[in-house]
Amino acid sequence: MADDFVNVVCVQPVEQIDVKEMVMPLVVFDVHEKVAKNPDYTVIMNT
């Protein structure tokens, strides 16, 4: 699971970082209805 995350060390001031470097892909899973029915509901990714 730890391999799923990336640690980034920034060596430049934020004002020098190009906006294109700050944008990352994002996915949102809306499972609020399932969680309302089951508070222990979990999302699992199979690879």
Q: Is residue 46 part of a domain?
A: yes
User: What pLDDT score does 7 carry?
Assistant: 65
In which domain, by residue range, is 24 found? 10-47
Q: Is residue 27 part of a domain?
A: yes
Q: Is residue 4 part of a domain?
A: no
Question: Which residues have C-beta within 8 Å of that of residue 10, sequence separation ≥ 6?
Answer: 17
Q: Is residue 23 part of a domain?
A: yes
Inter-residue contact 28 to 43 (CB < 8 Å): no
Question: In the chain, how many domains are there?
Answer: 1
- Would you list the DSSP string of 19-45? HHHH---------HHHHHH-TT-----
Q: Is residue 5 part of a domain?
A: no
Inter-residue contact 17 to 23 (CB < 8 Å): no
Segment 1-47, tens digit of pLDDT: 555 666 666 678 888 888 888 888 888 999 999 999 999 999 988 87
